């Protein structure tokens, strides 16, 4: 992991260093006629007068000390500050979208394979492929047009509604982080309940645990926002942020779910030919159990593998989505800093997007190992 | 399929050995050899001594395998749909040359970049205080904002309003954009740059990926692990974010972009897939035979591994084209690509001028370009899936 990240940083740095750009000229608003003295001063200030190897060493040590330089476009603000503010917003968008679209895609693919040969199949597959290959910025803007302009249901863009926040006693990030942690806690508890209920000895106890636990967690989640003091005060603002989150998540889900759907379908079809499915049917198990317990479980494996490959794609999609929706996350900062030629910010944002991809990759790998017991004994090769 | 491409590559070398194409074109000649091929099978090469008949047998084998594969492919209706859409856009890409050459289109009006409709259609409107019918009335206050209206008009005056994003009419079948350029012409030229980019990127990808894949598979060891770790890294990097960052430092030309996409995909995901295919081929007896017969590593990689990996690489070529078309559109939408005409640029113009959120009224600015990107990307994807069924017998309907 660390080695991979180091390599990634090195490649990024050398890529940007090797490319024919004049960062000094860019700082002087593209004026090529800079006096030589001023140029020298600028070079020294940016540390560009030293040899590349020393520059590289400086960059690396600074990076791991958390110093990514100062942004040109938001001048005295250090890059790391901007990133610290933006990173959680991207992570939330990314996680929510990832969970929704995997869930939706897997479900759709499962039914598509099970009902193979029905009339709707071609239609669903074609529209799935269409969504998968759609021109994303255009599609996102069309969704805005449909839902915000024509139907006037959802907000146009942005992270929050400034008018509502004018008298807010909280900073946006404070509310946002609170939302984030409450939701994460609730989901973790929910997962734990699900896990425990699946392993309960008595079937009846398991069902009770599942329903009771689920209702309790949801009640706790609602109760937090309505019952407790900080929750009550922040509720309106949190609701505003959640309201702004709907359309970006929807876009990402719609665009990405078809890939999962097609993959699940073909892996399901493969599984359904296996003998153990025939056995399960012969035993007289209900179709639903055969489908969900026997076929879908096995078909999940290749889909989980694709998770590792999908991380980069979803991050790319996130960059576009954030830009179109003016969602103030890493992707938007990346694009805007590139358009303003703010190199330190661009490199910083890109490195952290890389970190995000790396962690996502790692988690997906672990998840795969968890799902498939064979992975743990098989050697790499 | 492997057989087909193997033959195809030798057919390419054919003309030098045979010394003329004239003698082989005859359909009856090929039919005559048909029986012999059936008996000789794959070993036809060494059995036949004369170069002429060797060539004919190869050709008939090629024909037959193309025919067989076509029969399989034809059953996949989505693949056919993809092929039809690609054909349609190819036609679109050729059209403007034809139109300009025959004088049907005048360069001054229809050029995708510098063209200008100097005589746009007009609409008679009346200036009023409060607009009740936006098609015939214009707000008094809009005069100051809208440069097209002479400012000396008073309330109740009627005047001719030139329509600059003109709706489709007899001169401009898909209307004009806010700068008075023909949308259809831009669409056709956009198809051209998309094809250019997609095909170049895919070719670069395939060349690199087949080489990397088969070299890594054949030699193994250090070379293999180096190449595969590089591939892991490239798979992990979000490609679009990388392209955006590179776009911040250099100004992309279209072919730069094609190269970068080709290299990223060629050393990345495609190489991994092709390597696993090459590994499967490497353990086949004919590779051992070649090695025993004294074939060098270079020979085996070039003449045995690469041809057997080819069909799969053609498949991945299609997916690379899809990715390349989309990246191009996104980058030109973000204004990071130095390109004259592209579909992404058309969307960008409509977006920055605010027409995208009035998609209902200005549909000709919004839908043709957006759908074009989607359709072409989808067509290559569908074609890839269709070919997948030809190459992977496991996927076929039983």
Comparing B14-18, B114-118, B293-297, B327-331, the range with the smallest average pLDDT is B14-18
For an interface test with B, the pick among A4, A135, A323 (most B C-beta atoms closer than 10 Å) comes out as: A135
Reported as half-sphere exposure (CB side, CA atoms, 13 A), residue B394 has a value of 7
Domain of residue B188, residue span: 82-86+180-395
pLDDT tens for each residue of B243-261 = 888 776 777 788 888 888 8
Are residue B28 and residue B128 in the same domain, yes or no?
no
Distance from CA of A338 to the nearest CA of B (A): 5
When scoring B249, B256, B275, B335 by the number of chain A Cβ atoms within 10 A, the one with the most, hence best to mutate, is B249
Residue A201: count of CB within 10 angstroms of its CB: 6
Are residue B65 and residue B141 in the same domain, yes or no? no
**What confidence tens digit (pLDDT) does each residue in B295-321 have?**
888 888 888 888 888 888 888 888 889
| Of residues A362, A257, A361, A255, the one with CA closest to residue A318 | A255
* pLDDT value for A235: 75
Chain A residues with beta carbon closer than 8 angstroms to that of B326: 133, 135-136
In 3-state terms chain A splits into helix, strand, coil percentages (rounded to 5) of 80, 0, 20
Tokens in use for B348?
């960008």
Q: Which residues of A touch B382 (CB under 8 A)?
A: 129
| Whether pLDDT at B47 is above 60 | no
Q: In this structure, what are the phi and psi dihedrals at residue A273, rounded to the nearest 5 degrees?
A: -85, -10
Cβ neighbours of A12 in B, within 8 Å: 245
| Residue B146 pLDDT class (50, 70, 90 cuts) | low
Do B152 and B192 lie in one domain? The reply is no
Residue A344, both tokens: 């330190």
B236–chain A nearest CA distance, Å: 6
* Interaxial angle between packed helices A343-371 and A2-18, expressed in degrees from 0 to 180 and rounded to the nearest 10: 150
Interchain contact, B240 vs A309, CB within 8 Å: no
Q: Establish if B213 belongs to a structural domain.
A: yes
pLDDT band at A30 (very low <50, low <70, confident <90, very high): low
**Residues near B89 by beta carbon (within 8 Å), at least 6 away in sequence:** B191, B194, B195, B372, B375, B376, B379
Residue B12, pLDDT > 50, answer: no
d(CA A193, CA A206): 10
| Site from B227, B237, B248, B279 to mutate, A interface, most A CB atoms within 10 angstroms | B248
End-to-end CA distance of chain B: 19
B34 Cβ neighbours under 8 A, 6+ residues apart: B60
**Alpha carbon distance A179, A362 (integer Å):** 25
Could you give the count of Cα atoms lying within 13 Å of B144 in the half-sphere of its Cβ? 2
Residue B305 is classified by DSSP as I
Residue B16 has pLDDT above 50, yes or no: no
Give the pLDDT score at B17.
35
Strand order in the sheet with B122-128: B137-139, B122-128, B158-162
Distance from CA of B241 to the nearest CA of A (A): 6
Residues of B (69-108) whose Cβ lies below 8 Å from A: 77-78, 81
Statement to judge: residues B143 and B62 lie in one domain: no
Beta carbons of B249 and A16 less than 8 Å apart: yes
DSSP string, A82-135: HHHHHHHHHHHHHHHHHHHHHHHHHHHHHHHHHTTT-THHHHHHHHHHHHHTS-
**What's the mean pLDDT in B373-385?**
90
CB neighbour list of residue A337: distance below 8 Å, 6 or more residues apart: A71, A73, A343, A345, A346, A349, B248
Yes or no, beta carbons of A142 and B370 under 8 Å apart: yes
Residues 6+ apart with CB under 8 A from B236: A4, A8, A311, A312, A354, A357, A358, A361
Tell me what pLDDT residue B85 has. 92
Give the residue among B340, B346, B344 at the shortest CA–CA distance from B176: B346
Do B369 and B272 sit in the same domain of this protein? Answer: yes
Confidence band of B396 (pLDDT split at 50, 70, 90): low
Q: Which residues pair with B128 in a beta bridge?
A: B139
Instruction: Confirm or reject contact between B336 and chain A (CB < 8 A).
Output: yes
Q: Rounded to a whole number, what is the distance in Å from the CA of B287 to chain A's nearest CA?
A: 21
Residue A381: pLDDT over 50: no
Asked if pLDDT for residue B87 goes beyond 90, the answer is: yes
Q: Is the pLDDT of residue B45 over 50?
A: no
Q: B41, B74, B107: which is the final residue of a domain? A: B74
The answer, yes or no, to whether residue B120 has pLDDT greater than 80, is no
* Distance between CA atoms of residues A11 and A13, nearest Å: 5
Residue B160: its H or E element: strand B158-162
Judge if B130 and B190 occupy the same domain. no
CA neighbor of A329 nearest in space, from A82, A21, A32: A82
Does any domain span residue B62?
yes
Cβ pair A145:B357 closer than 8 A: yes
Residues of B in contact with A90 (CB under 8 A): none
Distances (CA, A) of A140 to A240, A347, B34, B356: 20, 26, 56, 11
pLDDT of residue A183: 81
Predicted confidence band at A286 (pLDDT cuts at 50, 70, 90)? confident
pLDDT > 70: what percent of chain A? 83
Res B18: pLDDT: 34
The DSSP symbol for A66 reads T
Band of residue B91 on the pLDDT scale cut at 50, 70, 90:
very high
Q: Smallest CA–CA separation between B230 and chain A, in Å?
A: 10
Share of chain B above pLDDT 90, in %: 9
Nearest-Cα residue of chain A relative to residue B326: A135
Confidence of residue B145 (pLDDT cuts 50, 70, 90): low
Q: CB-CB: which of B244, B329, B357 is closest to A149?
A: B357
> Taking a C-beta distance cutoff of 8 angstroms, is the pair A1, A358 a contact?
yes
Residue count of chain B, please give it.
398
What number is the average pLDDT over the span A68-87?
75
B393 touches chain A (CB under 8 A): no
Of B34, B49, B74, the residue that ends a domain is: B74
Between CA A41 and CA A48 the distance in angstroms is 10
For chain A, give the percent of residues with pLDDT over 90: 0
- The pLDDT, as a whole number, for residue B22 is 35
Q: Which residues of A touch B235 (CB under 8 A)?
A: 309, 312
pLDDT at B200: 92
| Percent of chain B's residues with pLDDT above 70 | 82
DSSP assignment of A139-177: HHHHHHIIIIIIS--S--SSSS-HHHHTT-SS-HHHHHH
Interface check for B238 against chain A (CB to CB < 8 A): the answer is: yes
Q: Residues B241, B357: one domain?
A: yes
User: Contact B241/A316, CB-based, under 8 Å?
Assistant: yes
Whether B103 is in a domain gets the answer no
For residues B125 and B138, the answer to whether their CB atoms sit within 8 Å is: yes
The beta-carbon neighbor of A135 closest among B78, B329, B385 is B329
What was the pLDDT predicted at A25? Answer: 54
CB distance from B377 to chain A under 8 Å? Answer: yes
Partner residue opposite B241 with nearest CB, options A141, A334, A341: A334
Residue B99 lies in a domain: no
Closest CA of chain B from A2, distance in Å:
12
* pLDDT given for residue A17 in this prediction: 62
In the predicted structure, residue B100 carries a pLDDT above the cut 60: yes
Q: Using an 8 Å Cβ cutoff, are A20 and A366 in contact?
A: no
Inter-chain contact A139–B370, Cβ cutoff 8 Å?
yes
In CATH, what number is assigned to the domain containing residue B361? Answer: 1.10.3720.10
Interface test with A, best of B236, B324, B375 (most A CBs within 10 A): B236
Q: Residue B327: inside a domain, yes or no? A: yes
The pair phi, psi for residue B137, each rounded to 5°, is: -125, 150
Question: Residue A370 has which token pair?
Answer: 């968890």
Contact criterion met (CB below 8 Å) for B373 and B344: yes
Taking 90 as the threshold, does the pLDDT of residue A147 lie above it?
Answer: no
Residue B86 clears pLDDT 90, i.e. is over it? yes
Distance from CA of B54 to the nearest CA of A (A): 42
Contact B318, B202 (CB under 8 A): yes
* Predicted local confidence at residue B5, as pLDDT: 40
d(CA B78, CA B298): 39
Cα angle B26, B28, B33 (rounded to 5 degrees) comes to: 105
* B160 strand-pairing partners: B124
* pLDDT above 90 for B237: no
- The answer as to whether B317 is a domain residue is yes
pLDDT-based confidence at residue B88 (cuts at 50, 70, 90): very high
Give the pLDDT band of residue B8 (cuts 50, 70, 90): very low
- HSE-CB at B136 with a 13 A cutoff on CA atoms is 3
Domain presence at residue B116? no
B320: nearest CA in chain A? Answer: A133
What is the pTM for the complete model shown? Answer: 0.79
Of A7, A126, A312, the CB nearest to B235: A312
Give A134 to chain B, closest Cα distance, Å.
5
Please tell me the distance in Å from B5's CA to the nearest CA on chain A. 27
Instruction: Check residue A336 and give its pLDDT.
Output: 83
Asked if A266's CB is within 8 angstroms of B347's CB, the reply is no
The one-character DSSP state at A379 is: P
User: Could you give the CA distance from residue B353 to residue A106 in angstroms, rounded to a whole number?
Assistant: 40
- Angle among Cα B128, B130, B133 to the nearest 5 degrees reads 85
pLDDT at B105: 83
Q: Is B162 helix (H, G, I), strand (E, B) or coil?
A: strand
206-235 in chain B: CB under 8 A from chain A: 232-233, 235
Higher-confidence residue of B218 and B18: namely B218
For chain B, the farthest-separated pair of C-alpha atoms sits apart, in whole angstroms, at 96
Residue contact A133–B378, C-beta within 8 A:
yes
Q: What is the mean pLDDT of residues A254-274?
A: 85
Task: Give the total number of structural domains in chain B.
Answer: 3
Nearest neighbour of A8 by CB, restricted to B77, B233, B359: B233
My answer on whether B150 and B44 are in the same domain is no
Check residue A73 and give its pLDDT: 65
Is the Cβ pair B236, A353 closer than 8 Å?
no
> Is A13 a residue whose pLDDT tops 90?
no
3-state DSSP call for residue B112?
A: coil
Q: How many residue contacts between A and B have a Cβ separation below 8 Å?
A: 142
pLDDT at site B204: 92
Q: Are residues B127 and B210 in the same domain?
A: no
Work out the number of other CB atoms within 10 angstroms of the CB of residue B147.
8
Which residue does chain B place closest to A17, by CA atoms? B249
Question: Which residues in B287-305 are b (16+ Cβ under 10 Å) and which e?
Answer: beebeeeebeeeebbeebb
Mean of the per-residue pLDDT values of chain A: 77
A168 or B385: which carries more pLDDT confidence?
B385
Domain match, B135 and B52 both: no
| Pair B147, B202 in one domain | no
Within 10 A of A277 (CB to CB), how many other CB atoms are there?
17
A153-175 average pLDDT score:
73
Closest Cβ opposite residue B246 in set A19, A316, A323: A19
Cα–Cα distance, A156 to A161 (Å, whole number): 10
Cβ–Cβ gap B377/A361 under 8 Å:
no
Q: Give the strand pairing for B122-128 and B158-162.
A: antiparallel
Q: What's the CA gap between B307 and B301, in Å, rounded? A: 9
| Whether the Cβ atoms of residue B339 and residue B254 lie closer than 8 Å to each other | yes
Residue B105 lies in a domain: no
For residue A300, what pLDDT band results from cuts at 50, 70 and 90?
confident
Question: What local confidence, expressed as pLDDT, does residue B2 receive?
Answer: 40
Whether the pLDDT of residue A377 is over 50: the answer is no
Q: Which residues of A touch B245 (CB under 8 A)?
A: 12, 15-16, 334, 338, 346-347, 350
Q: Do B236 and A132 touch (CB under 8 A)?
A: no
Q: Is the pLDDT of residue B267 over 60?
A: yes
Give chain B's mean pLDDT. Answer: 78
A197 pLDDT higher than 80: no
Global ipTM? 0.78
Taking an 8 Å cut-off on Cβ atoms, the answer to whether B347 and A138 are in contact is yes
Rounded to a whole number of angstroms, the distance from the CA of A49 to the nearest CA of chain B is 19
Q: Radius of gyration of chain A from Cα atoms?
A: 25
Question: Contact B330/A136, CB-based, under 8 Å?
Answer: yes
User: Does any CB of chain A come closer than 8 Å to the CB of residue B46?
Assistant: no
- Work out whether strand B158-162 and strand B137-139 pair parallel, antiparallel, or are unpaired: unpaired
Top mean-pLDDT range of B6-20, B160-174, B343-357:
B343-357
Q: CA torsion sign, B356 to B360 to B366 to B370?
A: positive
What is d(CA B368, CA A42) in angstroms, rounded to the nearest whole number?
48
Residue A74 pLDDT grade (very low, low, confident, very high; cuts 50, 70, 90): low
Residues B197 and B156 in one domain: no
How much is the pLDDT for A39? 67
């Amino acid at each position: 992991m660390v080695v991979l990240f180091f390599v990634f940083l090195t490649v990024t740095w050398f890529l940007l260093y090797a490319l024919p750009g004049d960062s000094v000229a860019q700082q002087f608003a593209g004026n090529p006629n800079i006096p030589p003295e001023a140029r020298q001063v600028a070079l020294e200030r940016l540390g560009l007068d030293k040899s590349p190897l020393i520059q590289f060493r400086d960059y690396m040590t600074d990076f791991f000390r958390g110093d990514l330089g100062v942004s040109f476009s938001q001048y005295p603000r250090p890059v790391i500050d901007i990133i610290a503010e933006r990173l959680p917003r991207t992570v939330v968008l990314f996680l929510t979208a990832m969970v929704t679209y995997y869930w939706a895609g897997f479900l759709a693919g499962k039914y598509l394979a099970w009902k193979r040969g029905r009339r709707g199949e071609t239609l669903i597959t074609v529209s799935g492929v269409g969504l998968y290959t759609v021109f994303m910025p255009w599609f996102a803007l069309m969704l805005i047009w449909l839902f915000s302009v024509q139907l006037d249901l959802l907000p146009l863009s942005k992270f929050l509604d400034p008018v509502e926040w004018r008298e807010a006693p909280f900073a946006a990030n404070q509310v946002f982080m609170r939302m984030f942690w409450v939701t994460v806690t609730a989901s973790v508890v929910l997962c734990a309940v699900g896990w425990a209920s699946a392993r309960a000895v008595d079937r009846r106890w398991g069902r009770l645990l599942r329903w009771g636990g689920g209702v309790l967690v949801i009640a706790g989640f609602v109760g937090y926002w309505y019952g407790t003091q900080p929750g009550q005060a922040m509720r309106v603002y949190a609701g505003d942020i959640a309201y702004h989150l709907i359309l970006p998540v929807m876009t990402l889900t719609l665009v990405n779910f078809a890939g999962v759907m097609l993959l699940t379908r073909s892996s399901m079809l493969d599984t359904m030919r296996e003998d153990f499915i025939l056995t399960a049917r012969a035993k007289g198990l209900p179709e639903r159990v055969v489908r969900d317990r026997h076929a879908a479980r096995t078909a999940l494996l290749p889909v989980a593998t694709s998770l590792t490959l999908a991380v980069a794609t979803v991050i790319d999609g996130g960059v576009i989505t954030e830009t179109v929706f003016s969602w103030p996350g890493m992707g938007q900062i990346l694009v805007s800093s590139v358009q303003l030629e703010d190199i330190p910010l661009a490199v910083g944002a890109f490195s952290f997007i890389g970190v995000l991809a790396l962690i996502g990759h790692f988690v997906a790998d672990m998840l795969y190992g968890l799902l498939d017991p064979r992975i743990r004994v098989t050697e790499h090769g | 399929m492997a057989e087909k491409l193997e033959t195809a590559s030798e057919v390419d070398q054919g003309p030098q050995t045979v010394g003329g194409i004239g003698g082989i074109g005859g359909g009856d000649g090929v039919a005559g050899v048909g029986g012999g091929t059936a008996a000789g099978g794959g070993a036809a090469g060494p059995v036949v001594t004369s170069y002429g008949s060797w060539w004919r047998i190869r050709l008939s084998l090629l024909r037959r395998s193309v025919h067989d594969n076509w029969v399989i492919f034809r059953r996949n209706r989505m693949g056919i749909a993809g092929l039809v859409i690609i054909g349609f856009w190819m036609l679109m890409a050729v059209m403007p040359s034809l139109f300009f050459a025959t004088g049907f289109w005048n360069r001054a009006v229809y050029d995708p970049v510098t063209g200008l409709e100097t005589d746009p259609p007009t609409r008679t409107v009346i200036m009023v205080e409060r607009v009740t019918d936006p098609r015939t009335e214009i707000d008094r206050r809009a005069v100051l904002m809208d440069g097209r209206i002479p400012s000396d008009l008073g309330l109740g005056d009627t005047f001719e309003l030139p329509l600059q994003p003109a709706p489709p009419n007899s001169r401009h079948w898909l209307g004009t954009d806010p700068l008075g350029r023909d949308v259809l012409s831009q669409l056709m030229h956009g198809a051209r740059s998309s094809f250019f980019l997609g095909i170049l990127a895919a070719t670069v990808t395939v060349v690199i990926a087949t080489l990397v894949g088969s070299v890594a598979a054949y030699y193994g060891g250090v070379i293999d692990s180096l190449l595969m770790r590089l591939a892991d890294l490239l798979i992990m990097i979000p490609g679009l974010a990388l392209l955006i960052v590179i776009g911040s430092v250099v100004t992309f030309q279209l072919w730069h972009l094609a190269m970068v996409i080709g290299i990223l995909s060629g050393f990345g995901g495609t190489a991994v897939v092709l390597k696993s295919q090459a590994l499967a081929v490497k353990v086949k007896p004919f590779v051992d035979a070649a090695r025993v017969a004294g074939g060098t590593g270079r020979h085996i990689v070039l003449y045995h591994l690469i041809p057997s990996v080819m069909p799969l690489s053609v498949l991945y070529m299609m997916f690379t084209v899809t990715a390349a078309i989309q990246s191009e559109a996104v980058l030109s939408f973000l204004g990071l690509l130095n390109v004259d005409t592209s579909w992404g640029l058309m969307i960008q113009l409509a977006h920055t001028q605010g027409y995208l959120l009035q998609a209902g009224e200005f549909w000709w600015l919004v839908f043709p370009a957006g759908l074009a990107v989607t359709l072409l990307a989808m067509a290559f994807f569908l074609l890839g899936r269709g070919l997948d069924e030809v190459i992977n017998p496991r996927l076929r309907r039983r």
